[in-house]
Protein backbone atom coordinates (compact mmCIF):
# COMPACT_ATOMS: atom_id res chain seq x y z
CA UNK A 1 0.00 0.00 0.00
CA UNK A 2 1.34 3.42 -0.94
CA UNK A 3 0.67 6.51 1.18
CA UNK A 4 0.26 9.75 -0.78
CA UNK A 5 3.24 12.07 -0.46
CA UNK A 6 1.02 14.84 0.92
CA UNK A 7 -0.04 12.47 3.69
CA UNK A 8 3.38 11.06 4.49
CA UNK A 9 4.13 13.75 7.09
CA UNK A 10 1.03 12.65 9.02
CA UNK A 11 2.95 9.47 9.79
CA UNK A 12 5.39 11.54 11.86
CA UNK A 13 2.81 11.89 14.65
CA UNK A 14 1.99 8.21 14.89
CA UNK A 15 1.90 6.73 18.35
CA UNK A 16 1.73 2.97 18.46
CA UNK A 17 4.02 2.73 21.48
CA UNK A 18 2.22 -0.29 22.91
CA UNK A 19 3.05 -2.51 19.94
CA UNK A 20 4.42 -5.99 20.16
CA UNK A 21 7.79 -7.09 18.86
CA UNK A 22 9.99 -5.20 16.47
CA UNK A 23 7.29 -3.68 14.28
CA UNK A 24 7.72 -0.05 13.26
CA UNK A 25 5.07 2.58 13.90
CA UNK A 26 4.35 2.67 10.18
CA UNK A 27 3.78 -1.11 10.10
CA UNK A 28 1.50 -0.84 13.13
CA UNK A 29 -0.36 2.03 11.44
CA UNK A 30 -1.04 -0.08 8.34
CA UNK A 31 -2.10 -3.07 10.47
CA UNK A 32 -4.52 -0.92 12.50
CA UNK A 33 -6.04 0.79 9.47
CA UNK A 34 -5.82 -1.56 6.51
CA UNK A 35 -9.25 -3.16 6.87
CA UNK A 36 -11.15 -0.11 8.08
CA UNK A 37 -9.64 3.20 6.98
CA UNK A 38 -8.48 2.30 3.47
CA UNK A 39 -11.63 1.97 1.38
CA UNK A 40 -12.43 1.68 -2.32
CA UNK A 41 -14.13 4.59 -4.07
CA UNK A 42 -14.54 4.50 -7.86
CA UNK A 43 -12.08 1.58 -8.04
CA UNK A 44 -9.40 3.61 -6.27
CA UNK A 45 -8.18 3.03 -2.75
CA UNK A 46 -8.72 6.15 -0.60
CA UNK A 47 -8.41 7.02 3.07
CA UNK A 48 -11.52 7.35 5.22
CA UNK A 49 -10.23 9.86 7.74
CA UNK A 50 -13.00 9.37 10.32
CA UNK A 51 -12.07 5.68 10.51
CA UNK A 52 -8.29 6.14 10.55
CA UNK A 53 -6.19 5.81 13.70
CA UNK A 54 -2.92 7.75 14.06
CA UNK A 55 -2.47 6.42 17.60
CA UNK A 56 -3.58 3.22 19.27
CA UNK A 57 -3.27 2.14 22.84
CA UNK A 58 -4.86 1.25 26.15
CA UNK A 59 -5.39 4.73 27.65
CA UNK A 60 -8.89 6.24 27.58
CA UNK A 61 -9.72 8.24 24.45
CA UNK A 62 -10.13 12.01 24.51
CA UNK A 63 -13.67 13.39 24.50
CA UNK A 64 -13.84 16.57 22.44
CA UNK A 65 -16.55 18.89 23.78
CA UNK A 66 -16.21 21.80 21.32
CA UNK A 67 -14.39 22.63 18.08
CA UNK A 68 -13.88 26.23 16.99
CA UNK A 69 -12.00 27.77 14.08
CA UNK A 70 -11.09 31.43 14.05
CA UNK A 71 -8.22 33.79 13.31
CA UNK A 72 -5.90 31.15 11.92
CA UNK A 73 -6.39 28.44 14.52
CA UNK A 74 -8.34 25.36 15.46
CA UNK A 75 -9.40 25.38 19.10
CA UNK A 76 -10.31 22.02 20.63
CA UNK A 77 -11.90 21.83 24.06
CA UNK A 78 -11.77 18.43 25.74
CA UNK A 79 -13.08 16.81 28.89
CA UNK A 80 -9.94 16.51 31.02
CA UNK A 81 -11.96 15.33 34.03
CA UNK A 82 -12.89 12.13 32.17
CA UNK A 83 -9.17 11.34 31.77
CA UNK A 84 -8.35 11.98 35.44
CA UNK A 85 -8.86 8.50 36.87
CA UNK A 86 -6.18 7.05 34.61
CA UNK A 87 -4.07 10.02 33.51
CA UNK A 88 -2.53 12.84 35.47
CA UNK A 89 -1.65 16.48 34.82
CA UNK A 90 1.85 15.62 33.56
CA UNK A 91 0.61 13.35 30.80
CA UNK A 92 0.25 14.85 27.32
CA UNK A 93 -2.51 15.60 24.90
CA UNK A 94 -1.42 15.72 21.28
CA UNK A 95 -3.31 17.32 18.42
CA UNK A 96 -2.58 17.31 14.71
CA UNK A 97 -4.28 18.52 11.56
CA UNK A 98 -3.32 17.83 7.96
CA UNK A 99 -4.04 20.71 5.58
CA UNK A 100 -4.85 20.53 1.87
CA UNK A 101 -1.51 22.18 1.03
CA UNK A 102 0.31 19.26 2.70
CA UNK A 103 1.24 21.15 5.87
CA UNK A 104 0.89 19.31 9.15
CA UNK A 105 -0.06 21.26 12.25
CA UNK A 106 1.04 19.57 15.48
CA UNK A 107 0.92 20.57 19.09
CA UNK A 108 1.37 18.81 22.38
CA UNK A 109 0.92 19.98 25.91
CA UNK A 110 0.39 18.75 29.42
CA UNK A 111 -3.18 17.77 30.25
CA UNK A 112 -3.11 20.02 33.31
CA UNK A 113 -5.54 20.37 36.20
CA UNK A 114 -8.58 22.10 34.68
CA UNK A 115 -11.76 20.01 34.20
CA UNK A 116 -12.13 21.27 30.62
CA UNK A 117 -8.86 21.56 28.70
CA UNK A 118 -8.07 23.45 25.52
CA UNK A 119 -5.55 22.64 22.82
CA UNK A 120 -4.87 24.96 19.88
CA UNK A 121 -3.48 24.26 16.42
CA UNK A 122 -2.24 27.51 14.88
CA UNK A 123 -1.59 28.39 11.24
CA UNK A 124 -1.65 31.79 9.56
CA UNK A 125 -4.85 32.38 7.57
CA UNK A 126 -6.26 28.96 8.42
CA UNK A 127 -9.75 28.31 7.12
CA UNK A 128 -11.84 25.29 8.14
CA UNK A 129 -12.15 24.18 4.52
CA UNK A 130 -8.32 23.89 4.37
CA UNK A 131 -8.34 21.03 6.91
CA UNK A 132 -8.17 17.52 5.46
CA UNK A 133 -8.26 15.76 8.84
CA UNK A 134 -7.71 16.46 12.52
CA UNK A 135 -6.94 14.08 15.40
CA UNK A 136 -6.21 14.15 19.12
CA UNK A 137 -4.90 11.52 21.50
CA UNK A 138 -3.19 11.27 24.87
CA UNK A 139 0.17 9.82 25.82
CA UNK A 140 1.54 8.94 29.24
CA UNK A 141 4.34 11.09 30.60
CA UNK A 142 6.87 8.28 30.11
CA UNK A 143 5.73 7.77 26.50
CA UNK A 144 5.02 4.09 27.02
CA UNK A 145 1.24 4.26 26.63
CA UNK A 146 -1.18 6.12 24.39
CA UNK A 147 -4.89 6.25 23.67
CA UNK A 148 -6.61 5.53 20.40
CA UNK A 149 -6.70 8.72 18.37
CA UNK A 150 -10.00 10.53 17.94
CA UNK A 151 -10.94 12.06 14.59
CA UNK A 152 -12.23 15.61 14.97
CA UNK A 153 -14.60 17.16 12.46
CA UNK A 154 -13.53 20.74 11.70
CA UNK A 155 -16.31 22.89 10.29
CA UNK A 156 -16.34 26.51 9.21
End-to-end CA distance of the chain: 32
Three-class SS state of 39: strand
Q: Quote the pTM value.
A: 0.87
75 is in which domain, residue-wise?
Answer: 5-151
We report the CATH number of the domain holding residue 129 as: 2.60.40.10
Residue 140 or residue 15, greater confidence: 140
Q: How many residues does the chain have?
A: 156
What is the reported pLDDT for 23? 79
Average pLDDT over residues 51-72: 92
67 close to 46: Cβ distance less than 8 angstroms:
no
Q: How confident is the model at residue 13 (pLDDT cuts 50, 70, 90)?
A: low
92 φ, ψ to 5°?
-110, 150
Residue 52 within a domain: yes
Please tell me the distance from the alpha carbon of residue 147 to that of residue 125, in angstroms, as a whole number.
31
Residue 123 within a domain: yes
Q: How many domains does the chain have?
A: 1
70 close to 57: Cβ distance less than 8 angstroms:
no
Q: How confident is the model at residue 31 (pLDDT cuts 50, 70, 90)?
A: confident
Residue 156 within a domain: no
Residue 38 within a domain: yes
SS3 content of the chain, % helix, strand, coil (to 5): 15, 40, 45
Amino acid sequence: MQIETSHAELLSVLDFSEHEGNKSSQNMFVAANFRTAFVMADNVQVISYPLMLVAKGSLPPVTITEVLTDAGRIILNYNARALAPVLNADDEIIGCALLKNGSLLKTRQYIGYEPIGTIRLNHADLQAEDVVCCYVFVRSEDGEKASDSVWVEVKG
